[in-house]
């Protein structure tokens, strides 16, 4: 395996680890500290960690740190499909390692930041499609020249923070299968996991077709 490929996969692993560790970790700490971080703080934590990871790993791997984003990129001319499975595997490993770390640190916490619908599953399913659609649309449009820039990091981090602030109390604002898979598996809260795998992928793929329409 070429050394450059190993760097790409490691970047995706580390980036997704950081996203899940700091993002869902903020939820855990907020729960255990009687709301000291607040919902606003959790949304900011997610937005900041995404921004920082794009700055850190954007030029190495593109900093997808999200299987839905990687799958959607595979429907464009912006990503070589041979990297699809290795990217997703690296992302899932990073996310699982982060949730395992949080479980070891906060044994008493039951959910570890698992995304769960506050209302009906249909409501959360539709919201997750819409949220991920606009997230992916922003990602594609702010990186038009195939390069990851400072503006890319700020714009993507901002849309993640905005959507987490808006929809977090209803759906958990996952927009990322790896972010939901890891805490659900490690904490054993699996009934609604399918929703947070299917909806983000649908939303992201729809965004890729919208981007292609505008591009053409």
Average pLDDT value for residue range 22-46: 97
Tokens of 133: 């659609």
**pTM assigned to the model:** 0.95
Over the stretch 160-212, which tens digit does the pLDDT of each residue have? 999 999 999 999 999 999 999 999 999 999 999 999 999 999 999 999 999 99
**Spatial distance between the Cα atoms of 3 and 73, rounded to a whole number of angstroms:** 23
User: Of how many residues is the chain composed?
Assistant: 216
Over the stretch 51-66, which tens digit does the pLDDT of each residue have? 999 999 999 999 999 9
**Spatial distance between the Cα atoms of 166 and 135, rounded to a whole number of angstroms:** 13
CA atoms within 13 A on the CB side of 188: 3
Which CATH number goes with the domain that contains 87?
Answer: 1.20.1080.10
**Among all chains, which residue has been given the structure tokens 């993002």?**
23
State how many domains the chain has: 1
Domain span holding position 204:
3-107+114-215
């Amino acid at each position: 395996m070429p050394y450059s490929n190993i760097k790409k996969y490691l970047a995706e692993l580390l980036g997704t680890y950081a996203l899940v560790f700091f993002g869902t970790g903020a939820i855990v700490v907020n729960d255990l500290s009687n709301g000291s971080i607040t919902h606003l703080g959790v949304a900011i934590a997610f937005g900041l960690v995404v921004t920082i990871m794009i700055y850190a790993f954007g030029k190495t791997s593109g900093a997808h740190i999200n299987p839905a984003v990687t799958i959607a990129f595979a429907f464009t001319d912006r990503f070589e499909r041979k990297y699809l499975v290795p990217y997703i595997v690296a992302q899932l490993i990073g996310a699982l390692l982060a949730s395992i770390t949080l479980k070891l640190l906060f044994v008493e916490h039951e959910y570890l930041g698992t995304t769960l619908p506050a209302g009906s599953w249909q409501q959360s399913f539709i919201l997750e499609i819409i949220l991920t659609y606009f997230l992916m649309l922003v990602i594609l449009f702010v990186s038009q020249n195939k390069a990851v820039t400072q503006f890319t990091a700020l714009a993507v981090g901002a849309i993640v923070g905005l959507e987490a602030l808006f929809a977090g109390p209803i759906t958990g604002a996952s927009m990322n299968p790896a972010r939901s898979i890891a805490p659900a598996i490690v904490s054993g809260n699996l009934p609604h996991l399918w929703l947070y795998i299917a909806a983000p992928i649908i939303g992201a793929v729809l965004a890729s077709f919208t981007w292609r329409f505008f591009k053409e």
